[in-house]
Structure 1
Amino acid sequence: MTLPELVPPPVELPAGTDGLRAEVREFLAEASFTPRVDSWLSGWDEKFSRELGRRGWLGMTVPQEYGGHGRRALERYVVTEELLAAGAPVAAHWIADRQIAPSLLRFGTEEQRARFLPGIAAGEIYFGIGMSEPDSGSDLASVRSRAVRVAGGWELSGSKVWTSGAHHAHAFFALVRTSPAEEGTRHSGLSQLIVELDSPGVTIRPIPLLTGAHHFNEVVFDEVFVPDTRVLGEVGRGWQQVTSELAFERSGPERYLSTFPLLVALLREAVQVDPERLGGMVGRYRTLRAMSLAIAGALDAGRAPELAAAVVKDLGTRFENEVIDVCRTLLGVPPDPGGTGYPKLLADAVRHAPGFTLRGGTNEILRGIVARGLGLR
């Protein structure tokens, strides 16, 4: 694979998106919330999510027969971009709208789509992701949670960690082992189950941040029964399904906009202090946006460019950390977690920064994926 084949061609936003963008901006200008960095992780506000659903800004790419709006992925991109740039509280619906809905459309049964998609589009059903496990890191092939066939379904035991929002969510997709891996194929024997988190045998334990905030969790399964109707896709095809799902997780504007409210605040405070350096930051942001938009265009066309998504995630999260570094050195204003405005945004960004390059796959793992995809290793 050559570099031009890796990067999807540039795309233009479709006609009519300027009006959509203006509509979202008008709503955000009137809405009541405190802008924050990393709002898609830390900004859990179910009332806000329901209002977005009422306005037709969730489930945008979901067909109307499932409660959605049948719009294009690039239109959804415009709405998402505006929400993140404003630091709006979008965490409640984020995972469900970003990747659960597309996966249900691609792999789910009619019953699963009817059960979950209308609630996702309304901002009333929330999901988490059950991939990472203790001692496994980004190596999803090493998952040890195991589901054993029983009458009418599966009995699930094991645990998942770093599960964002599980203490609020209704369900999550769990990648588990349903049969031993075949020799030479470590990713075989894995399946995806839809686990409803109020099921008997599910325990959710908080993993607090250094700040004391509670976003992450460990989810433990103690012989949890999962009916056959909650198997996502094909038994044994979990790895193939997960990798296609990761294109949605890794390529969106959240991979370079988590610190955008902080960058905007810095530009207001310090544009005359070092215009050359700040101009360079804005130029890099524009490049990342173009790359992310290109992937959104590929998704719009029904493709799932996993390698390009890995590149955007790697470059985007490194950019976010560099925004923080510039903010810490340029003005000399110390972060203040108890303050407001720029010092508060900077404090929150510093505290969230260690997770930027970990979630969605560590940058080192992503570079390995890209290298193998290009035939370099």
Structure 2
Amino acid sequence: MKSPLDCAALNAAMEDVHRAGMPGLFAEVRDGDQVWRGAAGVADVATGRPVTADMRHRVGSITKTFTAAAVLQQVESGRIGLDTPIGRYLPKLVPGERGDAITVRMLINHTSGLAEYLPYAYPSLRAFPALADTGPQSLDDHRFTRFDPTELIEMGVAAPAVGAPGGAPGVYSNTNYLLLGALLEQVTGTTAERYITRNVIERAGLRDTGFPAGPYVDGPHSQLYESWFGMIDPPRDYSVYDMSWVGPSASLISTVKDLNRFFGLLLAGEIVSPSSLAQMRRTVPVVSQEGKTIRYGLGLHPMEGPGPGTFWGHGGTVWGGGALAMTRADGRRQLSVAVNLQRWNRLDSSGKPQPHPIDDALATLFRVAMYG
């Protein structure tokens, strides 16, 4: 059994991340009935306003776990077949042979072979992930752009495939989750966001989690500072941003408390059935957006630390913000953390991100939070 919570060590680890260059971060760690919440640094570098552990935050691709859970609820009801071709449901969006070959499961676990639409929606990121050849101009150009999800899906489907349907390794792509949003709308008769709100967020009793109605974060929150690998210097605040560019793939706003509650209930079989949860934990190799091969299930992936036990969860980033939520397989130990700076690593001459003191400080925080 892991150590009980060491509050002094957690506070020190948080401060070390701040000292390493993170403007602000906040977290909640749980061990059974024991709860620690902490914060370090500032929510606004101009005013010095401090971050607090109860702030609402854009949690990026952690949204995918919520969307996957919603789809699995519809699988349980018999309205969606996990191994049914997506072309049966959305023949106009994924036509022809690919629509017949790509299953719902392949969308959820990123083995569809569909390309990422992001470089096509954001022209100055066209070389993404060849980062040395990109620039941040598109981030400003699209701060208030209202994207149409169908147009984004069409960009991803029309782009050259990144693999064969069901092939290994898969390639992480937001196109998959926009299609899952369209699928939910098709079978439920309501928007994916509304369905997820009613059947996942409200079912879990999450009071501070929801999809944004516009470009603003309601309630107490931090500014979100994007560095884009040192090309934006000093980092610029993107906390005001229209999130239609990711929709049910990565637009949720939540708190570290709500994230721990959600993953705790999910892994206890209270959001989807135990059999659906078992499907979520069946993993395949997938190449992440950072170019690393990870094991990925259905909207969940395992994280192995330097100690015993497997943690399940998801991470997420948006322009300027990031979050990570992980829960030990037995549900007892949990960490959710939010940070207000992204892409802090500068690039070498080949375009590879270089190590930064923040990386080591975060690794230490995760180790202390997971293992005491």
Give TM class, smaller chain.
Answer: under 0.3
More helix by share: 1
* TM-score, length of structure 2 as denominator length: 0.27
* TM-score, length of structure 1 as denominator length: 0.27
RCO greater where, 1 or 2, for CA within 8 Å and sep 6 or more?
Answer: 2
